[in-house]
């Protein structure tokens, strides 16, 4: 067996035993996660099928009964937009995962000491990065593409083309991300974090300005609105983009154009092979020197005290009692020292800021009747809470597990495990509220919401910040993994999956209560006007009780598990 095959076999065995360990989990938890996953997949499929069906119906009304439908006109551009967004998201994802997998994993030291070639080392880690960064997009995209195929009655070649095109497509952003990381680490590892942060902010600002100007939403004020929207989507159809190749190849396979589909597949495969080869050459040239500089700089003793904001944390948090203040300072320092953590955090809010920057186009369009305002407010609130659920699952859930095998040190400190649990909770609520409440208020002002809609939207954001933080901290304490130091792997376990599913359920229930208030004008005409205060009070009470249950029960279970844990 070759060295590469041996490493992949070992990874396969680790994954197999990880799956086997599920049988030792609670049957109730496994069953709930399985049923919830099936319900999530079916929900995505049903909504996608409904959306494609509405495209067909609306297209027949607009274009008549001809052979051409609105789906044929829009779907090519829509799929190109989706593929382009996924392409850039995979580049950013691979930037972070490559840094964590190639430079931060404990396995790297052992692999570098083993008798394997640089190409074997790179390919083994690269395959892990590809599989780890792309499984979520495959999981969530499969029901959407299945719905499209069934709605358009696509031939069997369409379903065969989906996995064939997906594999080389995800290899391209992975290769680009890995090359960028290795070149940046090689040239910037000797510098302090200041140049890293300045360069990252400069790149993020430039990308924000580019996408903000190039993909500005139309105002929907006249009859040319659909043409303007199609023109914006058409800007993603460049023959030099891999996203265009994969979208065109899949559409050709859906319409029976096997020859054109084969051409786009071979084009995609050739470029993927070339970029992986180039990434292997870059790794052979830059990885070892960058890794040595990075690791050597981390272990080099500093001859002067550290400066910057972190050095002033003790003074800024002087209002907190000890030892709570020491725990908060420690968690913030650990978070800041891990570039893979705070860079993902900034990326989340960069996407949210790009979304909010386009809200003014929706606020000033012709869709300003009460029903559209209600749905727009509800969708805006749902988008904010979904991003918040992603943040709590990705960053808050692993907090307790990241204490790692050093958790016993906290047992010697003058702090109880109850205090540790609530320190994680209030740190999460405080840090997230600074962003979520501010962005929610700003988006509400952008949409020019009425006082009642503004109040119920802001209440949902504040309540979900507390509820989702309590849910993540509680389940993270109930199912800790003290043997893993990679937050992304901690989240990928059964506990992280359960946290995300319960977060989705909580968000749906909160949105249902908000919908009762926001859509009152739609169904409240047949009811007495004096009933609205009762509906409003019931919705507020429902949100508060639901938040207390979502946060309180997991926190109680997590605390009980921590107090019983022996380390």
Residues 294 and 376 grouped into a single domain: no
pTM for the complete prediction? 0.71
User: Which pLDDT tens digit goes with each residue over 88-144?
Assistant: 888 878 887 888 888 877 788 888 888 888 899 999 999 988 888 888 788 888 888
Tokens standing for residue 274: 């070339």
Same domain, 395 and 493: yes
Question: Does the residue 388 lie in any domain?
Answer: yes
- Please check the confidence at residue 232 and state whether its pLDDT lies above 50: yes
Prior bond of 414 cis (ω within 30°): no
Does residue 211 lie within any of the structural domains?
Answer: no
Q: Domain for residue 567, yes or no?
A: yes
Over 80: is that where the pLDDT of 506 sits?
yes
Same-domain check for residues 295 and 373: no
User: How much is the pLDDT for 227?
Assistant: 53
State how far the Cα of 70 lies from the Cα of 58, in Å rounded to an integer.
7
Same domain, 294 and 441: no
Who has greater pLDDT, 22 or 12? 12
Residue 224 has pLDDT above 50, yes or no: no
Q: How confident is the model at residue 222 (pLDDT cuts 50, 70, 90)?
A: very low
**Does residue 227 sit within a domain?**
no
Distance CA 208, CA 353 (A): 9
pLDDT in tens, 248-302: 888 888 887 888 889 999 999 999 999 999 999 999 998 988 888 877 765 555 5
Integer Cα distance of 104 and 123 in angstroms: 17
Domain of residue 547, residue span = 369-567
pLDDT digits (tens, 9 = 90+) for 150-207: 887 888 888 888 999 999 999 999 999 899 888 888 877 666 655 555 555 666 566 5
**Burial profile 500-526: b = 16 or more Cβ within 10 angstroms, e = fewer:** bbbbbebbebbbebbbbbbbbeeeeee
277, 299, 321 - which closes a domain: 299
b/e map 291-305, b = 16+ CB within 10 Å:
bebbeeeeeeeeeee
Q: Are 57 and 166 in a shared domain?
A: yes
Q: How confident is the model over 28-46, as pLDDT tens digits?
A: 777 877 887 888 888 888 8
| Same domain flag for 548 and 406 | yes
Report the pLDDT value the prediction gives residue 366, as an integer from 0 to 100.
Answer: 45
pLDDT digits (tens, 9 = 90+) for 442-460: 777 777 777 777 888 888 8
Residue 328 lies in a domain: no
Specify whether 398 is located in the same domain as 253. Answer: no
CA gap 384, 391 in Å, rounded? 11
Residues 284 and 378 in one domain: no
Shared domain for 279 and 409, answered yes or no, is no
- Contacts within 8 Å (CB) and 24+ apart, 132-135: 132/97, 132/101, 132/488, 132/492, 133/90, 133/93, 133/94, 133/97, 133/170, 133/174, 134/90, 134/166, 134/170, 134/174
**Region label for 537, one of left (φ > 0), alpha (ψ between -120 and 50) or beta (otherwise):** alpha
Positive/negative CA dihedral, 484, 488, 494, 495: positive
Domain boundary among 259, 284, 299: 299
Distance (Å, rounded) from C-alpha 72 to C-alpha 70?
A: 5
Residues in the chain: 567
For the segment 333-351, what is each residue's pLDDT rounded down to a tens digit?
A: 777 766 666 666 666 666 6
Query: In the structure, what pLDDT confidence band is assigned to residue 76 with cuts at 50, 70 and 90?
Result: low
The region of weakest confidence among 68-77, 314-323, 423-432, 495-504 is: 68-77
Residues 6+ apart with CB under 8 A from 83: 169, 236, 242, 243, 244, 246, 247
Which residue would you say has higher pLDDT here, 103 or 359? 103
Q: Is 332 part of any domain?
A: no
Is residue 200 assigned to a domain?
Answer: no
Which among 284, 299, 314 is the end of a domain?
A: 299
* Claim to verify: residue 4 and residue 122 sit in the same structural domain: yes
Q: Give yes or no: residues 289 and 430 share one domain.
A: no
**Total domain count, the chain:** 2
Check whether residue 414 and residue 532 sit in a common domain: yes
Does 117 reside within a domain? yes
């Amino acid at each position: 067996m070759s060295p590469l095959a041996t490493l992949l076999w070992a990874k396969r065995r680790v994954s197999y035993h990880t799956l086997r360990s599920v049988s030792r989990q609670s049957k109730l938890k496994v069953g709930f996660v399985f049923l919830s996953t099936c319900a999530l997949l079916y929900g995505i499929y049903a909504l996608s099928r409904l959306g494609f069906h509405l495209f067909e119906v609306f297209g027949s009304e607009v274009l008549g009964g001809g052979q051409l439908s609105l789906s044929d006109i829009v779907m090519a551009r829509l799929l190109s937009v989706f593929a382009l967004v996924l392409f850039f998201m995979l580049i950013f994802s691979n930037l972070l995962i490559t840094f964590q997998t190639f430079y931060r994993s404990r396995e790297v030291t052992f692999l570098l000491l083993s008798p394997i070639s640089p190409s074997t080392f790179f390919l083994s880690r690269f395959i892990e990065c590809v599989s780890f960064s792309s499984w979520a997009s495959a999981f969530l995209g499969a029901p959407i593409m299945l719905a499209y195929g069934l709605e358009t009655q696509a031939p069997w070649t369409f379903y065969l083309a989906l996995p064939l095109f997906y594999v080389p497509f995800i290899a391209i952003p992975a290769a680009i991300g890995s090359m960028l990381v290795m070149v940046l680490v090689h040239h910037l590892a000797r510098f302090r974090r200041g140049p890293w942060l300045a360069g990252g902010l400069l790149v993020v600002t430039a990308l924000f300005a580019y996408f903000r100007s190039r993909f500005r939403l139309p105002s929907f004020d006249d009859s040319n609105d659909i043409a303007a929207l199609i023109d914006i989507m058409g800007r993603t159809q460049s023959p030099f983009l891999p996203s265009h190749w994969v979208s065109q190849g899949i559409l050709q396979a859906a319409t029976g154009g096997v020859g054109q589909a084969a051409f786009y597949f071979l084009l995609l495969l050739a470029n993927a092979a070339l970029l992986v080869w180039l990434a292997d050459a870059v790794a052979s040239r830059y990885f070892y020197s960058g890794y040595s500089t990075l690791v050597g700089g981390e272990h080099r003793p500093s001859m002067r005290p550290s400066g910057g904001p972190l050095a002033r944390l003790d003074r800024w948090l002087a209002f907190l009692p000890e030892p709570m203040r020491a725990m908060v300072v420690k968690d913030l320092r650990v978070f800041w020292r891990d570039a893979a953590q705070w860079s993902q955090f900034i990326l989340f809010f960069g996407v949210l800021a790009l979304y909010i920057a386009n809200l003014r186009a929706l606020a000033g369009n012709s869709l300003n009747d009460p029903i559209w305002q209600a749905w727009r407010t509800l969708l805006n609130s749902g988008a904010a809470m979904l991003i918040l659920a992603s943040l709590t699952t990705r960053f808050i859930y692993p907090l307790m597990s990241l204490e790692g095998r050093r958790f016993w040190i906290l047992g010697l400190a003058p702090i109880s495990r109850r205090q540790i649990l609530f320190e994680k909770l209030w740190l999460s609520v405080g840090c997230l509220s600074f962003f979520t409440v501010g962005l929610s208020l700003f988006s509400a002002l952008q949409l020019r919401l009425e006082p009642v809609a503004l109040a119920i939207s802001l209440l949902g954001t504040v309540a979900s910040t507390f509820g989702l933080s309590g849910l993540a901290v509680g389940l993270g304490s109930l199912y800790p993994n003290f043997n893993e130091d990679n937050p992304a792997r901690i989240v990928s376990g059964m506990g992280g999956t359960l946290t995300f599913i319960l977060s989705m359920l909580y968000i749906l229930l909160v949105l249902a209560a908000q919908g009762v208030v926001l859509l009152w004008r739609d169904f409240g005409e047949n009811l007495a006007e004096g009933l609205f205060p009762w509906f409003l009070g019931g919705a507020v009470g429902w949100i508060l009780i639901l938040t207390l249950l979502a946060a309180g029960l997991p926190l109680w279970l997590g605390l009980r598990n921590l107090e019983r844990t022996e380390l």
